[in-house]
Chain A
Amino acid sequence: MNAVAAARSDNVTDSSTQSRTGLIDRLGLGWFFRLLSSSIGQKFVMGVTGLLLCGFLVAHLAGNMLLFVGEKSFNEYAHALHAQWELLAIAEAGLLLLFLAHIYLAFATTIGNLKARTNTYTLRQTKVPGRIIGANSWMFISGSVVLGFVILHLIDLRFALRSGIDYLVESDPGAPFHNTVAVLSNPLSRVIYFVGVIVLGVHLSHGFSSAFQSVGFNHPKYTPMIKILGKIFAVVIAVGFASIVVFVPGMWK
């Protein structure tokens, strides 16, 4: 039975008549498989992972704002964080999972979309009043730029692997602050970080409110506020991180 015919048959989702031969079925994980393979399930998971990543951004920005306070505060914060190494390891694994899921689904949905629209109109004009083709048409591209930035950022500071940057060894108590300023003073990192966080803001200017719609939350009482909140959130994240890139290296010469 081909996929269309299968979907057409009334009993396709009737658990009592489904054959239970595969491993997925024997473990009762059919729902999970459908969550990750159906269009709506995929969008739901994208929305949830996107929002959880937004939560991470808030925590990360708050911690990094200590770079403006001074060397001592930032190092103390970093050491306190790393003292919780068990929790940190779990958090990092969680973050990695969120990123991998979000990125996998970004590819899966975008490829599906390109396959669904194989040819384009000679003339194309929006009917949404005041819409300029903006952030919502550039989600895959803005996400990819963010991915590039995140990879460089991990190489720079999580793994301290960039050549030409004079890192202090991790055991040195001054390492967190010193290494951060050293990386931010590197011209290549500086430019890419700046572009990366601005494009992240663009991604969020659509992503934040879009995620609520994807998880099914659209309500006349709250949706107008969520839309505005999404724009404000995008600006706060972009300007917040960009201010670190722009001002911190000069402040602590």
Chain B
Amino acid sequence: MNHASSTNLNLTLKIWRQAGPQQVGGLKTYEVEGISTDMSFLEMLDVLNQQLIAKGEEPVAFDHDCREGICGTCGVVINGQAHGPDRGTTTCQLHMRRFQNGDTIVIEPWLAKAFPIVRDLVVDRSAFDRIIQSGGYVSVNTGNAPEANTTLVPHHVQQDAMRAAACIGCGACVASCKNASAMLFVSAKVSHLASIPQGQSERSRRVLNMVATMDAEHFGNCTNTGECEAACPAKIELTNIAKLNREYMTALMYSKE
């Protein structure tokens, strides 16, 4: 049963295969046929894996969970671009209609010192968890829902906070940065919580600790090239990094922390 507008693609895939963290990896070439343009990128990989299993080969390991662009688990570098060619799109939301019959697609894992490869396309992003653990939270007891107008947050401030909170922690910013910098990720959380009342009491400590952890995890420094912003599926903006810089310098110079 074919959808009227869909066509089928024959593709050559060059995929990074690596048996384990310490093993040497390399690109391996596979052919897949009859890929529907209605499929998502991950479904295309599912088809390949089915083929490999049928042949008794080891399937390609890749991370995924929600497959609807909200969990941040998926994410590979497709033809040199984190999450592939579309802006504001995760790998799971990328569709095969973006490709042409006969295309060769190179698929590599996120590469960064702080994201060691676990296997094939799967990397260990727990460095992000440790950054969040060091301050990306609010530990005040907020109790029951308060009377709506007791804490006034102007609409535009709330919008800024919401836009920053959209980060799904996928790591595309690190993967696409020539310096493997995590500043877009950290700036999203810092801006988010610095904008709202609940975030105030830990505001200085949060930014100092999160940046200290970011540095200790061996992420690089921002050189303002903007690749992270372009690769980010949640459209986190570079202005957040400027805000992170302000927050950090203010905490460093004026707070008692």
Contact = CB atoms under 8 A, between A and B. Distances in A.
A116 B238 contact: no
B42 interface: no
B79 A123 contact: yes
B111 interface: yes
A186 interface: no
Contacts of B223: 109, 113, 136, 139, 210
B256 A122 contact: no
Nearest to B220: A116
A contact face: mostly helix, strand, loop, or mixed: helix
Contacts of A120: 111
A35 B113 contact: no
Interface string B161-192: 00000000000000011111101000000000
Nearest to A128: B230
Nearest to B257: A13
B218 A116 contact: yes
In this complex, which of B27, B79, B223 has the most chain A Cβ atoms within 10 angstroms of its Cβ? B223
Interface stretch (A2-10, A91-99, A160-168, A237-245): A2-10
Contact of A125 (B79, B112, B244, B253): B79
Interface stretch (A39-47, A64-72, A81-89, A191-199): A39-47
Interface stretch (B29-37, B52-60, B144-152, B205-213): B205-213
B106 interface: yes
B80 A125 contact: yes
A136 B220 contact: no
B28 to A, nearest CB: 12
Contact of A15 (B87, B106, B256): B256
Contacts of B81: 125-127
A7 B218 contact: no
B191 to A, nearest CB: 12
A152 B82 CA distance: 43
Contact of A117 (B112, B209, B242, B243): B112
Given A4-B130, A13-B205, A116-B114, A136 B249 contact: no
A206 B183 CA distance: 19
A109 B221 contact: yes
A215 interface: yes
Given A40-B245, A112-B220, A128-B230, A218 B239 contact: yes
Contacts of B222: 39, 43, 214
Contact of A214 (B87, B231, B245): B245
A117 B213 contact: no
A44 B216 CA distance: 19
A14 B179 contact: no
Interface of B: 14, 27, 77, 79-82, 85, 87, 106, 108, 111-114, 130, 133-134, 176-181, 183, 205, 208-209, 211-227, 229-231, 238-239, 241-246, 248-249, 252-253, 256-257
18 contacts: A4-B217, A7-B216, A10-B209, A38-B212, A39-B219, A40-B211, A40-B249, A113-B179, A116-B113, A116-B179, A116-B218, A127-B82, A127-B85, A128-B227, A136-B224, A139-B223, A213-B238, A220-B239
